[in-house]
A and B are shown apart, each in its own frame.
Chain A
Amino acid sequence: MLEQMSTRVLACMQCGKCTGSCPESGKTPFNIRMLVRKKQFAAAIAEELPWYCTSCGACTLRCPRDVKPSEVIIELRSALVEDGLMPLALQKALENTAVQKNPWGKSRGKRGVWADKLDIEIPHVSDTESKRLLFTCCIQAYDPRCMVIPSNVARILNKGGLEFGILGEEEGCCGNEIRRIGEAGLNEELQEENKAIMEEYGVKEIIALSPHCMNAFKKEYGDLGIKVTHYTEIVADMIREGTLTVQAPFEKKVIYHDPCFLGKQNGIFEAPREILRAIDGLTLMEFARSRETSLCCEGGGGRMFFEVETTYERNAEVRVNEAVEKGAEVIATACPFCVMTLEDPATEKGITVKELSEILVEVI
């Protein structure tokens, strides 16, 4: 059993750095160090506990012994998934993904609908010369709040003169969240299918709209031989090189929230800020916890698809409160999950949440 462990629980020296880093520590019953400790002894773990993890990655990034606590959680979840001991909503999400290739169970045939409504024509990636793929992401393909994001980004890239294509209904879930929910088998299936289609069309480059998809393609698909970027990196380049110019001002105080999968997990801190700084009249503000210590919005690790049982002050509320206290008018971020989690408390407090592209389309 010990040999099979992908994680290194036995190396843990119980220093507590993971708990000190965890966005769920203290406010929820979740104590990641304790779970690692119990795993060392193969002791029983209450079945609801592993589901709190948001897979923000802070524990794994900071662990001095390379124990990878967030991977320990995935292992714990896998065991629960195998036994069917998981929240119903998550089970549903997995089933949906198996069938429709998206956790919401929306029709796969409608995955490319957002592009049909667009004023510009987006070719299928196979019809492009560059074989540059704009990867939509499930939530942005279907969710009414997030559907504007791919449209915006398509317009922006188009304005910057960049050729790209999409896969339309042939695109399937990237599997990033599925792996974190603990369904390794389904994740593998999704990866195979996506890989096959990309290979078929000779995709050379992926521009991901969601940091979660970007993370999967970059780090979990093996060596694809495909360049993977987040769209903010492309746009920042365009602005720097002058192929995209900001023409109108945006006279607002904007506070930027670093998404975990874009920031701390993939080190992209500057590109989104560079874009915001390039906009006239925009005052860029920072949270006290920003960049590497950005506070997780709790949208990752499957938390997007179900509600934990305990009630507590959600991190999104903490974020919104700070933004309001600091006098920000807009919370900007670059991840659809962050948009979704932040928007509820933001609406309550009367502050706007905007995905970066939503600001950009207003000013170019």
Chain B
Amino acid sequence: MKNVLVVGGGIGGITAALEIASCGVDVTMLEEGPSIGGRMIQLDKTFPTLDCSTCTLSPKMVEVALQKKINLLSWAKPVAIRKNGKGFTVTILKKSRYVDINKCNACGSCSPGCPVVMKSEFNMGTGPRKAIYIPFPQAIPNKASIDKRTDRPCKAACVDACPIHTNVLGYLKHISEGRFEDAYMLIRETNPFPSSCGRVCYAPCEGVCNRGQLDSPLAIRDLKRSAVDRFDLDTLEPPQVQKTERKVAIIGAGPAGLSCAHDLAMEGHDVTVFETLPEPGGMLRYAIPEYRLPKAELDKEIGYIRRMGVKIECGIEIGKNMDAATLKNDYEAIFVGTGAPQGIRLGVEGEDLSGIMDGLKFLRTVNKGESLERESLSSHSEREGVAQPALLVEGATRAPLIGNKVAVIGGGNTAVDCARTAKRLGSEEVTLIYRRTRQEMPAADEEVEALIHEGVKIEFLATPVRFNGSNGKVSTAECIRMELGEPDASGRRRPIEIKGSEFSVPVDTVITALGQATETDFLNPLGVKLRKNGTVEVDPFTCTTSVEGIFAGGDVTTGPAYVVDAIAAGKKAACFIIKFLKGEALVAESIDAKPEKLSEDEVKALSIWVAKADRIPMPEEEINQRVTNFREVALGYSAGEAMTEARRCLAGQIEGCIQCGECERRCEVRAVDYNMKDEIIDLDVDSIVLAPGFDLYDPTEKREYGYGTLEGVITGIEFERICSVTGPTGGDILLKGETPKRFFFIQCVGSRDRLSGARYCSRVCCMYTAKHASIVKDRIRDAEIYISYIDVRAYGKNYEEFYKSTQENGILYMRGIPGEVVQGKNGLLVRVEDMLSGEMREVEVDLVILATGVRPRKGTEELCNIMSIERDEYGFIKANSVAPSKTNVDGIFVCGMGSGPKDVPDTVASGGEAASRCMEYINQ
């Protein structure tokens, strides 16, 4: 069986391939890019008939796809060749597409999620494309490709460390390029509480960030906040989903319950959340102080969940004003996410004295604003685009809540929150008493830092042993010094009392923040199995409890943990509740990957090309300003700061795909494979047809025309894309969003030009410019159009007529090539001598279109070197003068622009000629 190799998938190559295949010969067609179609598919119309180029070409492209004799290899090119008898053995490099061509069904769901925005080659850079893309709707093969150029330089440990696997590198990429809204939407894909997490997340991602091994980790949480600050959630419409009428009850409106509700509502389920406290939000609302998380922000996030159709009923306590059994009967599934709302007692003498209170209760009281007034305050900062907290506990007296000398017992975040809150309420002396040292404090480092800055005193290695009082009111806390012994179960060194080291601290208020416990008695009637410590026993992979249909997650199953853990648990439970309602088996699918570190060698290699840059500190409210009120301390990055900080992300250092996994997550047929490898294949062929096509001259070096420096100076092929329905504007001719009215076309840019090394005429520019002018005239009736020329080359049938009719249409042809284009007051000034009148003119226009000349396609030289093909002085393939498809090598033929400028009809003809010469050769 004969086999012919066609290199190049433009109109020339397509014609040759189809002609050869129609003779019953097998054809292997190589296309260097993602799709065949070549330059012609980029054209809006073809001259002189003004037929739609896509309409003419795409049937032929489809024919290639359907023709069984043609084997099309995209992303493929020859890299070596050996003579093999009369034929050749060709070594072909098949670049990896990173998408399984047999699975991809061109559904297009991948691209919108991709955070890597690149210039579309198809649109000549006039519009964007994503790193995963299908170049245009009519592409053949119609399959996505990933523009992956290098492996990601980091391990994306952030994503693995995050309990909800937030696409950190994806949203950082968006932010680094100023796309805050896209970043926000990407965060929302996995997180219904971006604003809360952007403020109070403990950010396990930052701890493992691989950049931290070079200089300092990315400020991932603060960057999340920067995206939140620039998006108003109130303007986001919830997606329309098909309702299922399946009822699910959720107990507890904390982050776990609400996240579960959010994901269930996304599936269309009918969700009701029951909450004991007067407002939803759980610890987010009642434990975290206003200065860390303004409640207005939380209200927006919960508001969105409500707008999704989730019913939230507050003031309902299961077992008290609602029966647990009824709940079980009325709902198909139940999620328990009641958290760990109980404080733990210290268990020392005098703990019941007045003035001693539980930390959680204290925070709840302050957050509820009970016995405190809330006043709104106008924005106190001018930082751009940053929403400022409007709530302030102003003028509120700390009495009767707390006194002047406050001791806070504990070392966790709650203890720190209590101490900072007490300071804000005006207590003069606030002391934190912690039994270990700073190193062992479970509270976040930056929180402890802030605490110290705000003037709270810390007594490390001390614990109260007794509280003394007078008149039933606490007056001193008697403490004892501690030292650290052997590590205990938590891995921290156990504090041991030092005998005889007692000392006393005068106090009028004591706030204890020693830990939290669950309240799960209400589950007893349902028979849900509890652990000894009161937490609910669950399968950690599926969130199922001992009772079918009842799921649980968050602090109620784990004891006190972090917000994002609760969100993760709620989401996981939702996922399995959805399966449960469908009647599917509840088995965990995958085990989460562990965050990886960079090896020392990798760090060394990276530090060579990644410039050191430390993270940008989050701007904060002045210390003396902040301790008097509850305004948010962290002020948020400016857009510039956020972009600069986000640009530090190691994943963002590379061109192309950053392997963030978003497309993989979205692809329903699992076609994405980042680890696909390039292939090298050997192929025996009897003959070869080269159709490498052409490029267009880059006029940047002609500085006098201002291409690349003046807005409104573009090339003909760019103009073609702007005119095209498949182009970036959908076919509207627009400049900065407005319709330009005055056009100036300059001919012979980079043709007939010694300076740019092309003394030849490019043959197509006169006609394509006439075509462009006609398109403009057709779409913008009142357009003023000039074409400057040296002499118009419109040969043969229909061409001269087309040129003349263009002129008659009112397009002004001006003999004389402009010397320069400069910025004028109301547009671009084209300085040109109208030679036929001998007058020098300065024409003011909106758009200048350079009719750039034809150049051999990039890669033609390499191709010719491999195949020992001779080229002419310009680099085009040297063709035989009487058999114009013959090259200097027997059996290798050329067609189309590869051997020099040709228009579409000539290229088609040359494709046919090459096919017939090729047939002649293989049948000899």
B815–A16 touching, CB < 8 Å: yes
Report A51-87 CB contacts with B as 1/0, cut-off 8 Å. Answer: 0000000110011111000000000000000000000
User: Which residues of chain B are within 8 angstroms of A17 by Cβ–Cβ distance?
Assistant: 817-819
B840–A19 touching, CB < 8 Å: yes
User: Which residues of chain B are within 8 angstroms of A62 by Cβ–Cβ distance?
Assistant: 702, 704, 755, 819-820
- Report the bound CA distance from A20 to B841 in whole Å: 8
- Is B833 an interface residue when CB atoms closer than 8 A count as contact? yes
A292–B704 touching, CB < 8 Å: yes
- Report the bound CA distance from A14 to B835 in whole Å: 9
CB distance from A323 to the nearest CB of B (A): 15
Report A1-18 CB contacts with B as 1/0, cut-off 8 Å. Answer: 000000000000111111
* Residue in A closest to B829 when the chains form the complex, CB atoms: A288
A13–B790 touching, CB < 8 Å: yes
- Report the bound CA distance from A58 to B703 in whole Å: 11
- Is B323 an interface residue when CB atoms closer than 8 A count as contact? no
- Is B457 an interface residue when CB atoms closer than 8 A count as contact? no
- Is B838 an interface residue when CB atoms closer than 8 A count as contact? yes
- Is B485 an interface residue when CB atoms closer than 8 A count as contact? no
B790–A15 touching, CB < 8 Å: yes
- Report the bound CA distance from A18 to B820 in whole Å: 10
User: Which residues of chain B are within 8 angstroms of A63 by Cβ–Cβ distance?
Assistant: 755
B790–A65 touching, CB < 8 Å: no
Q: How many residues of A contact B (CB 8 A)?
A: 28
- Report the bound CA distance from A14 to B817 in whole Å: 9
B833–A25 touching, CB < 8 Å: yes
User: Which residues of chain B are within 8 angstroms of A66 by Cβ–Cβ distance?
Assistant: 754-755
User: Which residues of chain B are within 8 angstroms of A25 by Cβ–Cβ distance?
Assistant: 819, 831, 833, 840
A15–B748 touching, CB < 8 Å: yes
- Report the bound CA distance from A162 to B793 in whole Å: 60
* Residue in B closest to A322 when the chains form the complex, CB atoms: B825
B819–A20 touching, CB < 8 Å: yes
B833–A16 touching, CB < 8 Å: yes
- Choose one: B748, B752, B816, B824; the contact of A288 (CB below 8 Å): B824
- Report the bound CA distance from A205 to B753 in whole Å: 37
User: Which residues of chain A are within 8 angstroms of B702 by Cβ–Cβ distance?
Assistant: 62
- Report the bound CA distance from A291 to B823 in whole Å: 13
- Is A31 an interface residue when CB atoms closer than 8 A count as contact? yes
B754–A65 touching, CB < 8 Å: yes
A64–B833 touching, CB < 8 Å: no
Output the residue of B702, B752, B754 with the most chain A CB within 10 A: B754
Report B801-828 CB contacts with A as 1/0, cut-off 8 Å. Answer: 0000000000000011111101110000
A16–B816 touching, CB < 8 Å: yes
- Choose one: B815, B817, B822; the contact of A293 (CB below 8 Å): B822
User: Which residues of chain A are within 8 angstroms of B451 by Cβ–Cβ distance?
Assistant: none
B840–A26 touching, CB < 8 Å: yes
- Is A174 an interface residue when CB atoms closer than 8 A count as contact? no
User: Which residues of chain A are within 8 angstroms of B817 by Cβ–Cβ distance?
Assistant: 15-17, 20, 64
- Is B135 an interface residue when CB atoms closer than 8 A count as contact? no
B823–A16 touching, CB < 8 Å: no
- Is A33 an interface residue when CB atoms closer than 8 A count as contact? yes
User: Which residues of chain A are within 8 angstroms of B704 by Cβ–Cβ distance?
Assistant: 21, 58, 62, 292-293
B755–A64 touching, CB < 8 Å: yes
- Is B255 an interface residue when CB atoms closer than 8 A count as contact? no
Output the residue of B818, B831, B833, B841 with the most chain A CB within 10 A: B833
- Report the bound CA distance from A289 to B824 in whole Å: 9
- Is A34 an interface residue when CB atoms closer than 8 A count as contact? yes
- Report the bound CA distance from A65 to B841 in whole Å: 22
Report B453-469 CB contacts with A as 1/0, cut-off 8 Å. Answer: 00000000000000000
- Report the bound CA distance from A33 to B836 in whole Å: 12
B703–A293 touching, CB < 8 Å: yes
User: Which residues of chain A are within 8 angstroms of B833 by Cβ–Cβ distance?
Assistant: 16, 19-20, 25, 31, 33
- Report the bound CA distance from A16 to B818 in whole Å: 7
CB distance from B90 to the nearest CB of A (A): 40
B790–A291 touching, CB < 8 Å: no
B754–A288 touching, CB < 8 Å: no
With known contacts A25-B833, A293-B704, A20–B822 Cβ distance under 8 A: no
- Is B430 an interface residue when CB atoms closer than 8 A count as contact? no
Report A123-135 CB contacts with B as 1/0, cut-off 8 Å. Answer: 0000000000000
* Residue in B closest to A292 when the chains form the complex, CB atoms: B703
- Is B832 an interface residue when CB atoms closer than 8 A count as contact? yes
User: Which residues of chain A are within 8 angstroms of B835 by Cβ–Cβ distance?
Assistant: 14, 16, 19, 33
- Is B706 an interface residue when CB atoms closer than 8 A count as contact? yes
Output the residue of A15, A27, A289 with the most chain B CB within 10 A: A15
- Choose one: A13, A19, A34; the contact of B819 (CB below 8 Å): A19
- Report the bound CA distance from A22 to B842 in whole Å: 12
User: Which residues of chain B are within 8 angstroms of A288 by Cβ–Cβ distance?
Assistant: 822-824
- Besides the known contacts A288-B822, A292-B704, 18 further A-B residue pairs in the complex with CB atoms under 8 A apart: A13-B790, A14-B835, A15-B748, A15-B817, A16-B832, A19-B840, A20-B816, A20-B820, A21-B831, A25-B819, A34-B838, A62-B702, A62-B704, A64-B755, A64-B817, A65-B752, A293-B703, A293-B704
Task: Name the 5 nearest CB pairs between A and B, nearest first.
Answer: A20-B819, A21-B819, A26-B840, A16-B816, A19-B833
**Interchain residue pairs with CB less than 8 A apart (22):** A13-B752, A14-B790, A16-B833, A19-B816, A19-B835, A19-B840, A20-B820, A21-B820, A22-B819, A26-B841, A27-B840, A31-B838, A31-B840, A58-B704, A58-B820, A62-B702, A288-B822, A288-B824, A289-B822, A289-B823, A293-B704, A293-B706
